[in-house]
């Protein structure tokens, strides 16, 4: 399995686990209506649309692996993918805690 596949799967796993955790918290009533919890409610309501981020990145990375010139370098795609994976994790961690 290549780097691109591993990074894409990691992004999807972070999104899926984050959405499941937020769904449990919102349904249990642990997330109120305070301004600090608005991120959690936003992510729960629009979570499925956020799946377009890893899909778009995977398309970009696959095109970059074939072209490998200019802005479509594989190393740039891998770097962006890693930043996205960490960003997804941090956003859901902030919303949960």
Residue 37 confidence (pLDDT) above 80: no
In sign, the C-alpha dihedral spanning 28, 31, 33, 38 is: negative
Predicted local confidence at residue 53, as pLDDT: 92
What tens digit of pLDDT does each residue of 54-85 get?
999 999 999 999 998 888 899 999 999 999 99
Q: Are 54 and 45 in contact (CB under 8 A)?
A: no
**Can you tell me the distance from the alpha carbon of 97 to that of 83, in angstroms, rounded to the nearest whole number?**
21
What tens digit of pLDDT does each residue of 41-61 get?
888 888 888 889 999 999 999
Domain extent for 29: 3-96
Query: Could you give the number of structural domains in the chain?
Result: 1
What tens digit of pLDDT does each residue of 15-33 get?
999 999 888 888 887 665 5
């Amino acid at each position: 399995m290549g780097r691109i596949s591993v990074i894409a799967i990691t992004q999807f796993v972070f999104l899926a686990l984050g959405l499941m955790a937020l769904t449990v918290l919102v349904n249990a009533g642990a997330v109120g209506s305070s301004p600090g919890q608005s991120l959690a409610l936003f992510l729960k309501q629009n979570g499925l649309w956020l799946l377009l981020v890893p899909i778009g990145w995977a398309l970009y990375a696959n095109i970059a692996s074939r072209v490998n010139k200019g802005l479509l370098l594989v190393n740039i795609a891998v770097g962006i993918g890693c930043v996205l994976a960490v960003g997804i994790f941090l956003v859901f961690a902030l919303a949960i805690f």
